[in-house]
C-alpha cells in the first residue's frame, strides 16, 4: 500500500520506501562487516521480533551478500492495551539453539526499551557468542530502560508512527513508507 492511499490518516511521511531500502542495505553491510565469515563457524543468526519486524527482516536478509540464518520470536509487554504492562512474555520462542552463535536481534522500532532490554538479557543467558540489536527506528526520548543498540537506522521524535511493519490496531503495516499517524485516527 502506498502512503497516498491513506494520506488523510498521516501528518507526514518520514521515510519513503526508497530511503528505507537504502538504509536497510547500509545496516546489513555494517552488520556483515562486523561479523566476517569464519571457516568452521555457524552462519550469523538474525532474530526477528514478530510481527512488526517482518518487513525489516525480509529486506535485511535479502541485502546480505552471504549466507545468514533467520529465526523469529514473538514477545509481548503490552497485554491488551496500548500502554506497556511492564511484564514481558514470550509468545513464540526460538527454534534455534544459540549457544556459541553470534546473534543480531532485528526490530522495527525501539520505544521504551523494556522489551528489548529483557529480551537481550534472556538471550544472553543462553550462552551465545554475542547478542546485538539492530533496529530501523529508535525513539530516544521514549526510552525508560537502558538498551545497547549497535545498529540504528534513524532516531525519530516520540511520535506515533506507522507503516513498514508498524501498525495501529493491525492497520498500516503494509504501507511501504513510514509516516506519523494523525491524532484524529487514534484519538491522541
Catalytic residues: 111
Q: Half-sphere exposure (CA, 13 Å, Cβ side) for 96?
A: 21
User: Residue 125, by phi and psi: left (phi above 0), alpha (psi -120 to 50) or beta?
Assistant: alpha
Contact call for residues 108 and 56 (beta carbons, < 8 A): yes
Which residue is it, cell 528489548? 116
3-state secondary structure of 33: helix
Separation CA 104–CA 120 (nearest Å):
10
Separation CA 171–CA 10 (nearest Å):
13
For residues 6-36, one letter each, b for 16 or more C-beta atoms within 10 angstroms of the residue's C-beta and e for the rest, the string is beebbeebbbebeebbebbeebbeebbeebe
Amino acid at each position: 500500500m502506498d502512503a497516498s492511499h491513506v494520506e488523510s490518516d498521516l501528518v507526514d511521511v518520514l521515510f519513503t520506501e526508497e530511503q528505507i531500502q537504502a538504509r536497510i542495505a547500509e545496516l546489513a553491510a555494517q552488520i556483515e562487516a562486523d561479523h566476517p565469515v569464519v571457516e568452521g563457524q555457524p552462519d550469523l543468526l538474525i532474530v526477528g521480533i514478530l510481527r512488526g519486524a517482518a518487513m525489516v527482516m525480509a529486506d535485511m536478509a535479502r541485502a546480505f551478500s552471504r549466507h545468514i540464518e533467520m529465526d523469529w520470536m514473538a514477545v509481548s509487554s503490552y497485554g491488551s492495551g496500548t500502554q506497556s504492562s511492564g511484564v514481558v512474555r514470550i509468545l513464540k520462542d526460538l527454534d534455534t539453539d544459540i549457544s556459541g552463535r553470534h546473534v543480531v536481534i532485528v526490530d522495527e522500532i525501539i520505544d521504551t526499551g523494556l522489551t528489548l532490554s529483557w529480551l537481550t538479557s534472556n538471550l544472553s543467558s543462553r550462552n551465545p557468542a554475542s547478542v546485538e540489536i539492530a533496529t530501523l527506528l529508535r525513539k530516544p526520548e521514549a526510552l525508560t530502560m537502558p538498551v545497547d543498540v549497535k545498529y540504528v537506522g534513524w532516531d525519530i521524535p516520540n511520535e506515533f508512527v506507522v507503516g513498514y511493519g508498524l501498525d495501529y490496531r493491525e492497520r498500516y503495516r503494509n504501507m511501504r513508507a513510514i509516516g506519523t499517524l494523525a491524532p484524529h485516527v487514534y484519538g491522541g
